[in-house]
Structure 1
Amino acid sequence: MGILEPRVLLPNIASVEEGLGLRDWKFFSNGYYGPLCRIIIGWNTNEIEVIILSSGAQWITCDASAKGGGFSVRVTFVYGSTTPAERQELWHYFQYQSSINAATPWLVTGDFNAIMRVIDRQGGDNNWYKYMEDFPNCVHQSELIQIASNGLHFTWHNRQQGRDSILRKLDWAFGNHHLLRHWPQAKATFQARIESDHSPIIISLSSSHPYQKARFKFLNLWADQDGYDQIIRAAWGTEAYGNPFSRLTTKLRTLKGYLYNFHRSNSSHISSRVAQADKKWQEARVLLDQHPQDQEAGRRERDLCHQFSALRNAEESFYKQRSRVNWLQLGDRNTSFFHRSLLHRRHRNGITSLCRDNEL
């Protein structure tokens, strides 16, 4: 749990924590960075183990893990400064942490005191100042993905009415690619404001849905693999009866079965195949280096090099097609980029809830 902007003096933090009435809970705050505490985090010690990693005037980062095994996630609670110049420290922190947390599920949430787009504001000053680009640029450079959300869009209200009313989306929830790979159904719910002028956020790291067999999709990489032409001829050469349309659909169903088998034999688990081919090629290079005059070792090294190169091209084609990104930087391997694009699109397109017209 994170409590943002409690505005508590350092000597009073302990009494505030005790007044919450949460038995078996521990707390940590960043009250030492200014006259008023800006972030307090708490956790149930019977359920969760928490290790504080770093804290600053605008953030607290910790590792949280379930007791007895299970989930483990890195969480950064944020309360961004109201001053654009002071928020620069926060943006630099995210960009620095993004590389450190590349292989760790990382959740970033809180009040950033910044908006991403023009549609994230209503009322007040309508100008778009240069410093307002800092937040979206930071999110992009840190490779953070906005977690799918429901509930309120405008999470802050100045409590004024009429022309003086100002609404902003200042509260956000982001995750890195590793987080969404572990919890693809992660969801943030922005609840109605009660006493505070900000919306409470509840983040659910739900497990993925039960596995369902994927629909058949033709992979472009098949057309470049050995044996593809033969299975097309074999499938199209099978006997089919009925009217022309019935014969066509029968042959297409037969071809689909052939391609399923072809995929299992040649291109399933493509990334694992690439890793295995790379390992075999490395071993062959070491052997050739030890026995440079061995013609058989030289031939094997060349064959494994060709196999690895073909699999790398197939892997790149696979992720390019799945991510629906149609551009490449000349000479650059973009497999990692395509994989992340695919993950981002899956999360963005997920349906988290349904409502009737009278519930909008």
Structure 2
Amino acid sequence: MGKIATTLGRMIKQDQATMNRDKLEFARVLIEMDISKGFPNSIKFEDEKRSLVYLEVSYEWKPEKCATCDGIGHTSNVCKKAKVVEQMKKIWKPKEVTETVKNPPEKETEDDQRFKKVKGFIWLLETKVKASKMGALYLQMFKGWCFSSNLAHHPNGRIIIAWNPNSFEVDIKGGTNQLIHCVLKPKRGHSFALTVVYAADDSKTREILWRDLVTISEGMKIPWIVGGDFNAVLNPEERLEYRGNANELIPFQTYVNKCGLEDVKYNGRFFTWNNKQDGKNRVYAKLNRILATSDWIDTYSTAEVSFLPEGDFDHSPALLTIYPSMQNIKKPFRYFNFWKNLNGFLDVMKQFWQEKVAGSHMYQLVFLLKQLKFGLKSLNRQGRGDVELQEKEAYQHLLNIQQQL
């Protein structure tokens, strides 16, 4: 197979059915080709009996190439350079010099600004981009990046992933119509596995996804992270005005427990999806999340997910920062006014302030302030525990009221 494929280019891999010889009607291989040499519809080679054999070649996707400028992603009839050449053939007449007012440059959209923040890896869900439009999408959004999709498993391309080759090396291990599984090797850092998920709407099809993820977890030997739209909630409070059966939560909860996954620390929007309806008809739910194994969280202990405002979408974009820029900066000491209302505040002040210190007046002041800082930090931890206890009691009170309603 490799010898036949090399007549077209460099063979990268074969699909499982071809390797197992399950389908003898055709062979399906992934080949890196030189676009300048075109895409032949057939190839010829000599078999083991030195007979000349002709084979028909078909392509799942071919990028559009312009015959005028040799650019990729468009044809000659829409090529800007072709229009310029056509205009140059006309008789040129100098125009009168007049004052013109230049239009101000178009402002970047919020989505453009969000994309610029992404330095290494991005995934898009529910794209509905067909194979014929992939070239245009690449030029618009991923120019200079590498990208892939699960078009081979779903005609509308439910998942697209893209990465900056200067930031990551990506080895795609497989995919289905609900996931893409790969291994990422950052230029700086440790390799880890990533599974991008876009779960189906119906629970029966999602059961297939849960089983696939459990199978992946059983052979996992490196840190693993799973992210995307799971189309399910883990707990009743993750869906506003939840009216479903508690048993509907069990399959997702079981999968998460079997795979040993937990939520990566996050901030921003709690509900990551809403149905965009008005008034009482609006529904909120936490359908998008990023989960990881404990060894991934230990490896990237400062990682954090920010769920951003949804804008025109019905889902909130998630921005995962693996190396926060402030991680190594020491936080300065701050005095909080509420400390003076805590029990034991005056006792701490007296204990540290009445300590006898030898030296100049300035030395004594600086030394006592440093010692007092440790006492106030200890008092802060006690006060923070009291606040957290009050928060839990208030939340339990809220649940009791909701239950009575």
Report the TM-score when normalising by structure 1. 0.55
User: Which residue in 1 is equivalent to 2:236?
Assistant: 118
User: Which residue in 2 is equivalent to 1:109?
Assistant: 227
User: Which residue in 2 is equivalent to 1:148?
Assistant: 265
Tell me how large the CA RMSD over aligned residues is: 2.2
User: Which residue in 2 is equivalent to 1:307?
Assistant: none
Q: Which of 166, 184, 191 pairs up with 1:46?
A: 166
Residue type at the aligned position of 2:185: S
Report the TM-score when normalising by structure 2. 0.49
Residue type at the aligned position of 1:13: M
Quote the offset at 1:12 in angstroms. Answer: 1.9
Quote the offset at 1:46 in angstroms. Answer: 2.2
Residue type at the aligned position of 1:117: N
Asked if residue 93 in structure 1 is aligned to residue 212 in structure 2, the reply is yes
Q: For the residues of structure 2 that align with 1:210 and 1:191, how far apart are their CA atoms?
A: 25
Quote the offset at 1:23 in angstroms. Answer: 2.8
Which structure has more relative contact order (CA 8 Å, sep 6+)? It is: 1
Residue type at the aligned position of 2:139: E
Equivalent pairs counted in the alignment come to 209
Residue type at the aligned position of 2:167: E
Quote the offset at 1:128 in angstroms. Answer: 1.7
Residue type at the aligned position of 1:132: L
Post-superposition Cα deviations, 1:105-139, rounded to whole Å, max 9, x if no partner, equal 1111000000001101114x612253331111110
User: Which residue in 2 is equivalent to 1:6?
Assistant: 127
8 and 129 in structure 1: CA distance in 2 versus 1, 3 angstrom threshold: farther
8 Å contact from structure 1 (residues 24, 46) kept in 2: no
Asked if residue 158 in structure 1 is aligned to residue 275 in structure 2, the reply is yes
Question: Deviating runs (4+, > 4 A) in structure 1?
Answer: 207-212
8 Å contact from structure 2 (residues 153, 175) kept in 1: no
Counting helix residues as a fraction of each chain, which structure ranks higher? 1
Residue type at the aligned position of 1:108: V
Q: For the residues of structure 2 that align with 1:105 and 1:195, how far apart are their CA atoms?
A: 34
Quote the offset at 1:211 in angstroms. Answer: 12
Gaps of 5+ in 2: 1-121, 331-387, 389-405
Q: Which of 249, 257, 261 pairs up with 1:132?
A: 249
Gaps of 5+ in 1: 213-348, 350-360
17 and 211 in structure 1: CA distance in 2 versus 1, 3 angstrom threshold: closer
Residue type at the aligned position of 1:77: V
Identity of paired residues, percent?
28
User: Which residue in 2 is equivalent to 1:320?
Assistant: none
User: Which residue in 1 is equivalent to 2:301?
Assistant: 184
Residue type at the aligned position of 1:95: V
Q: For the residues of structure 1 that align with 2:248 and 2:174, how far apart are their CA atoms?
A: 26
